[in-house]
Amino acid sequence: MTIQQLRYFLALAQELHFWKTSEKMYLSQSTLSRQILSLEEELGCKLFERDKRNVKLTDAGRYLQEKWTVLIDEFDRTVQQAKKIDLGTTGAVSISYPGSIIHNFLPEVLELFSRDLPEVKIELMEPVDKDQERLLLDYKIDISFSRDSTLHPSLLCEKLYTELVCLVVPKQHWLTQDTFENLRDLKDEKFITSGLHHNTYFASLLRQMFSSAAIEPEIQIETDFGGIILNLVSQNLGVSILPMSFSKAENENLRFIPLEETVDLYVHWRKNDPNRILEQLVVYAKELGAKYALKSKR
């Protein structure tokens, strides 16, 4: 039994058609048939019911499809990680991040990292916060910057710094920092925010803020991507609440009004990950985060 035979089996189990599967796997139909027959003989059980028109899985086949799909996925992730480890300082690192740090923290930490490890390829991804833990565990990313902490036993997490959140309004909006009192001032405004139904920290903070102000916000547009929110607010489509980092975008059509509430930025990585590149990136993130934390206290 070989890994390639398992791949042939899983492909046929998905397609349930010898010709389509042979086309997909770049081999002849007769070769595919021989590989499946050899696998069945080695296992001592039938995996497929066949006739001239139909192919379907047996009960044993369905069971092995479920189990072997997980095993092959884990095998592929392990091989991918081994290649990264072997490459050492000339490999690649995948990083996920919230949109709020693209104007200050993220480019600064990548500049420090690239200066000392210029051969490392950096892959960036901006998922929603609720996806980041799973992406780390599935080896889809290596480092996660997030507004949420994690207690997962296979992951490490460290807070980097804390910052204020702010009210974001169009430049010509009637509300200014001098006239703002509390969110009740905006009870008749249309909001553009991330989904309040999410179980992330920021969504929870927004719910708490609206509840404390005793208002039921009219959500005009819902999106989890802050860069889109900035553009929509600048087009007078509503107002929003975002981390203060977004003020670094320097959009002339926006006004940022600081609020009392705060959010944190965390870095997450896999526990006992042997990839030396990740260790170095985490060190740079901690050092820069300490500078940001000190700056916020002034």
Q: In the numeric block, which tokens belong to residue 20?
A: 């389509």
- Closest listed residue to residue 256, CA positions, set 173, 185, 186, 194: 173
Asked whether residue 172 falls in the same domain as residue 241, the answer is yes
* Confidence tier at 64 by pLDDT (50, 70, 90): very high
Residue 4 is predicted with a pLDDT of: 92
Q: Report yes or no on 156 lying in a domain.
A: yes
**Which of 16, 44, 77 is where one domain is finished?**
77
Asked whether residue 143 falls in the same domain as residue 185, the answer is no
Q: Report yes or no on 132 lying in a domain.
A: yes
pLDDT reading at 40 higher than 80? yes
The domain tally of the chain equals 3
Asked whether residue 116 falls in the same domain as residue 38, the answer is no
Q: Report yes or no on 155 lying in a domain.
A: yes
What's this model's pTM, rounded to 2 decimal places?
Answer: 0.69
**Which of 77, 104, 139 is where one domain is finished?**
77
Asked whether residue 244 falls in the same domain as residue 274, the answer is no
Asked whether residue 66 falls in the same domain as residue 134, the answer is no
Of 11-25, 87-101, 152-166, the least confident: 87-101
Asked whether residue 226 falls in the same domain as residue 151, the answer is no
**Which of 57, 77, 97 is where one domain is finished?**
77
Q: Report yes or no on 82 lying in a domain.
A: no
Asked whether residue 226 falls in the same domain as residue 91, the answer is no
Residue type, 70: V
Residue 28 belongs to domain with CATH number: 1.10.10.10
Q: Report yes or no on 59 lying in a domain.
A: yes
- Mean pLDDT for 81-96 is 71
Asked whether residue 179 falls in the same domain as residue 156, the answer is no
Residue 126 is predicted with a pLDDT of: 85
pLDDT reading at 90 higher than 60? no
Of the chain, the percentage scoring pLDDT greater than 70 comes to: 95
Residue 187 belongs to domain with CATH number: 3.40.190.10
Domain that holds residue 283: 87-160+265-297
